Structure 1
């Protein structure tokens, strides 16, 4: 179903506003500070801060992404997708009046809408990073605390492994899932789980020094049950095919031109069918390198900074349709003196198809002409994205966005024209 762009954008804003205002009528007391307060619903007449002082922090946010395909791909049109999150953090040290008692976090996620990628562009990398799993689910129920020293911490429960592994905050400046916020080789070629799909697991993090952090984890791999709507709040343990173990080193450069670098590797014990073969692979592995580095900063105004990011990732040759992923881009923070919280972001990414997958595509064609089409396709899909993040108020961000996809049919053995898409991302904090 396609809707006029103007109607969809208006509906996006109105539905988000109504959903966040309905449960909190006391927010009306804060309307005098609507444009300057950190959240849309304010301090609830002081109740919000009182709860937090007691150890209960309530959070919520809304994100919508409306994308129109203007040229190429499958067809022209517009699609809208949205996500609403509601969370609660319980500081047990405050609630129980006990030092170092830890923290419990609960997070619910609801996604709705339609996919511009599936319906209009026909590519592999989703043009809307909030699209996927269109239902309400429990995304996190976890317990976190330090162990023996403030430098060593653990987190246990039902949660998303990609929240703490394999991503970089700077990549949240993008709309396409090709960039935000993990290399797609991870979930394509193993039991790696990204938001909002949770798994049972445990994490261990050690801050060796201010410049180096080491972390590891063990998560359940459960591809069948975790994706079922009927299991949205069941926290299933049955259906487990194995476990995945990530190892990650985080290096922090704390110079004036600061940066962060992540090097990671993961091992999945699950058996998985080999692409184009009759046997199974007894395990799946992958590795990645992530870089976020400031390359220029105004000495008179340190908030004005130009950052360079890069990603390089590889996955299992026998089982992953996406063999490698590369990306490179720039993010300019505070692009204008009068807009200190805005950003301009540009990124380029390339997903490389597994030659085994291409071989399966060629073997499946019924006519010689179809074989010629597939062999003429590029060895991967490419994406370029340019956007402007306008922080209209502390709680409202509008991000106009342009995306261009090269060889959008490469992963499906289809010859599709390069696609030009444009849209708007809306983010509101309740």
Structure 2
């Protein structure tokens, strides 16, 4: 994309946000028809056929998400450059109880397509290391078309036991929560974000499944097993179904509590989880660089754990679709094999802050990602072995030490039932955890369309 002056891009940023809101509000169409603001879908209810199909057990899911980011100041490349990324999602959910009389059985198939570029990799982070998080969370995992979901789920004993298997993503069942932030460090599935070589999040699928035991409607425990195959990451392998190239399995375990508190039944989720990977990886340690190359003398299995808390704290006049929600997350990875050994975040959102805009949402969050000191030591050893200590030398490997911290403030405008626009401001401290890279101030816009 072309470069813009800060003033010009800020005007463009504001014009896009206001223009999209204005144009959507001016659409006049028949109720529930195409582009009707009251319809759940931009293309309408297909003359009533879509609702009729859903009642019969066939629910089509068509969505589009775009995320734009521009570094207003700071970062590795200080030019004000904009980047655009997006994701198309096409899916169908089949209620096999309604369709085939298979009690409490569901089938899901989803295709995704990702495109675009990422401001974090292109200008904010040093290209030799990149950033730890991403200011455009929809970017990543390969810009390609994928079979993201192809699974069947069945409940037993009045949903006390729930079994799911097929092509799945780990984060749809483990370490999952509701989030509308554009920065990756403030979304769902954080355990997979900082252990992506073992835990494959959306949109990368793998063969696997999980068994869930619901002790009560609020208390549950679940365990899963997922095949680990690095080839699933490769562009062009989005529909690869064979298991050749498998290197092991990931086994996550989670216990959780999903209460509804107080007279207003405020929803919450509290979860504690752990994972173990049978795949062995190199053990980071000082002295692992010999004669300028990596010479790891040990390898080990990977393991870690996570905690998440998401609780709505208030309602508005008894309406629990509005109010303040607090989210706290934490991840721990083993120091032997993981580049990032711990992560923490806290976020608050308020939905319906204005009576005239009951579906709009204001959000603010902070996420900290810490680099394993043993990984830092290997980088220092690599530079020493190469005989370079000047950051500006092209052969120098920037040392990642300490933490990268990501901040985001957004306001989500529910322009219609099918269109949400979320302008946001982000601040990235120590991008990539490289001290020589200046803190970055980023402007973004996320657009969600239910088609």
Q: Matches of 2:35 and 2:391 in 1, distance apart?
A: 62
Shift of 1:99: 4.1
Q: Matches of 1:240 and 1:2 in 2, distance apart?
A: 42
Decide which moves more: 149-158 or 416-425: 149-158
Partner of 2:134: 126
- Provide Cα deviations, 1:43-97, integer angstroms capped at 9, x if missing partner: 101221232233221111000000010111122210000000000112222222x
Shift of 1:32: 7.0
1:216 to 198, 213, 223: 223
Q: Does the Cα contact within 8 Å between 2:283 and 2:300 map onto a contact in 1?
A: no
Q: Is 2:396 the partner of 1:380? A: no
1:356 to 367, 374, 390: 374
Q: Is 2:404 the partner of 1:402? A: no
Partner of 1:21: none
- Provide Cα deviations, 1:196-248, integer angstroms capped at 9, x if missing partner: 0001001111111132111111100112x101223211223111111111100
Partner of 1:418: 439
Q: Matches of 1:31 and 1:364 in 2, distance apart?
A: 62
Partner of 1:226: 232
Q: Matches of 2:13 and 2:217 in 1, distance apart?
A: 49
- The 5 A counterparts of 1:172-183 are 172-183=179-190
Q: Matches of 1:100 and 1:157 in 2, distance apart?
A: 19
Q: Matches of 1:70 and 1:144 in 2, distance apart?
A: 46
Q: Is 2:156 the partner of 1:156? A: no
Q: Does the Cα contact within 8 Å between 1:189 and 1:319 map onto a contact in 2?
A: no
Shift of 1:370: 4.5
Give me the TM-score of the superposition, normalised by structure 2.
Answer: 0.85
Q: Matches of 1:275 and 1:422 in 2, distance apart?
A: 36
Give me the TM-score of the superposition, normalised by structure 1.
Answer: 0.89
Gaps of at least 5 residues in structure 1 are 18-26
Decide which moves more: 378-387 or 80-89: 378-387
- The 5 A counterparts of 1:311-330 are 311-330=329-348
Partner of 2:2: 2
Partner of 2:361: 343
Give 3-state SS (helix, strand or coil) of 2:408's partner: strand
Partner of 2:148: 139
Aligned length: 411
Partner of 1:255: 261
Compared CA separation, residues 190 and 28, structure 1 to 2 (3 A): same
Q: Matches of 2:149 and 2:398 in 1, distance apart?
A: 44
Partner of 2:53: 51
Decide which moves more: 73-82 or 43-52: 43-52
Partner of 1:109: 112
Q: Matches of 1:349 and 1:229 in 2, distance apart?
A: 29
Q: CA RMSD in A?
A: 2.7
Q: Does the Cα contact within 8 Å between 1:8 and 1:66 map onto a contact in 2?
A: no
- Provide Cα deviations, 1:361-406, integer angstroms capped at 9, x if missing partner: 21222334559x9999751100111000111111000000000000
Q: Does the Cα contact within 8 Å between 1:126 and 1:176 map onto a contact in 2?
A: yes
Shift of 1:414: 5.8
Compared CA separation, residues 53 and 321, structure 1 to 2 (3 A): same
Give 3-state SS (helix, strand or coil) of 1:271's partner: strand
2:247 to 220, 241, 260: 241
Q: Matches of 1:142 and 1:185 in 2, distance apart?
A: 20
Compared CA separation, residues 31 and 55, structure 1 to 2 (3 A): closer
Partner of 2:128: none
Compared CA separation, residues 88 and 258, structure 1 to 2 (3 A): closer
Compared CA separation, residues 127 and 186, structure 1 to 2 (3 A): closer
Q: Matches of 1:113 and 1:354 in 2, distance apart?
A: 30
Give 3-state SS (helix, strand or coil) of 2:258's partner: strand
Q: Matches of 2:344 and 2:112 in 1, distance apart?
A: 29
Partner of 1:22: none
Partner of 1:20: none
